[in-house]
Structure 1
């Protein structure tokens, strides 16, 4: 009877470990996707853009285009928009230097957590999960701060040229937020979810391991198989 109970307990432990491995793999894939999304958020000039207005003539047509942290793209007669800025040298627009630096910091933290995935072969899995969790939590904080500072910097020459003279802090005038800014706000939520999941996986890691593996270095980690 005692042997049967031991076999059942070992079976349940094996199932828990398999489930944790699956969740860990999903977390790793989502972390990589989040890192790629961060790159898109940083370089895309689609944080704000002009609204669809019904122009009736009687004067020059209002400008149309989009604006990001590094570029202002105006829609001209040609199919390709004319962009002004320094994306190649990663020099942000003067008014958006603080949000751009914060997004770069967030991007660095996320890619550092991606790099930490290699440590699962060499270090304790619980420690790696918690390191990644703190990196992702810091990335989410930096991205959230960038999302707050970005509309606070709207009263600048680039925004006035694109969105009209009614532009002020937290008031985009004739423009509206576009998909890159919305993606950045969703990225804050994504960072919170990934960091919380990493903390949970890290705290449960020791409980899921066999008793004889807790006393030494753990190399059979959740993502190893």
Structure 2
């Protein structure tokens, strides 16, 4: 019986260490995902012009990039000329829905980061599950933003940058840039983090192995049996004291 209890204690200790290591990795990835969401929101690199060569005396079309809040055109200087309201967080009229969804997703991710402080006050399984639902909702909002953004390409800003061949889900002379790709990868990242949080939350109730629980129950049964055997002796001693 002591050997079974010792094995159960060692197994529980290793299991807790592994769970804490995976939980720390999940927390770091959650913080990185929140920072990536900020980059996705503010970067004007969702769509950009393709590299092309033009012949003749016609002036080349403008070159630059476009995001949710700004459209930046290349100039002869190193700094591009940007049009938009990033400082006031006013999105371009055609991309307001996508910008709102990204903002909602960003808020949920940062709320899940703030929930990491609750591990000192609340049950770990509950905190993991709260963060999982927040990350799942954030990924869903980000996925909707990735769908609504190309659906809104038929607008004046896109025509000015990418030509008249622009249509919904057709960027014309432009192509998808790294910020839009990062947003799509963020949807996958949110799904992975939410799944890992659900797994960690469900495993918190299984920190003690099954055979450890059986050994504990057997030990309790043995103690109760010994106490039952000693009851007559205790009763006799109490009677003598009473007399």
TM-score computed with the length of structure 2 as normaliser = 0.85
Check whether the contact 1:85–1:93 (CA below 8 A) recurs between aligned residues.
Answer: yes
Aligned to 2:121: 122
Report the aligned-residue RMSD: 1.0
**Gaps in structure 2 of 5+ consecutive residues:** 214-243
- In the TM superposition, what whole-angstrom CA distance separates every residue of 1:148-180 from its partner, at most 9, and x where no partner exists? 000000000000000000000000000000000
Check whether the contact 1:17–1:209 (CA below 8 A) recurs between aligned residues.
Answer: no
Identify which range, 128-137 or 201-210, moves more after superposition: 201-210
3-state SS of paired residue (1:187) = helix
Check whether the contact 2:30–2:113 (CA below 8 A) recurs between aligned residues.
Answer: yes
3-state SS of paired residue (2:82) = strand
Q: Distance in 2 between matches of 1:181 and 1:88?
A: 21
Q: Distance in 1 between matches of 2:25 and 2:31?
A: 10
Q: Distance in 1 between matches of 2:204 and 2:53?
A: 59
Deviation at residue 58 of structure 1 after TM alignment: 2.5
Question: Of the two, which has the highest radius of gyration?
Answer: 2
Aligned to 1:47: 46
Q: Distance in 2 between matches of 1:208 and 1:153?
A: 49
Q: Distance in 1 between matches of 2:54 and 2:19?
A: 57
TM-score computed with the length of structure 1 as normaliser = 0.92
**Gaps in structure 1 of 5+ consecutive residues:** 212-225
Aligned to 1:37: 36
Aligned to 1:66: 65
Aligned to 1:182: 181
Q: Distance in 2 between matches of 1:63 and 1:209?
A: 65
Aligned to 2:171: 172
Q: Which has the higher helix share?
A: 2
Number of aligned residue pairs? 210
Aligned to 1:144: 143
Aligned to 1:19: 18
Aligned to 2:104: 105
Q: Distance in 2 between matches of 1:209 and 1:46?
A: 50
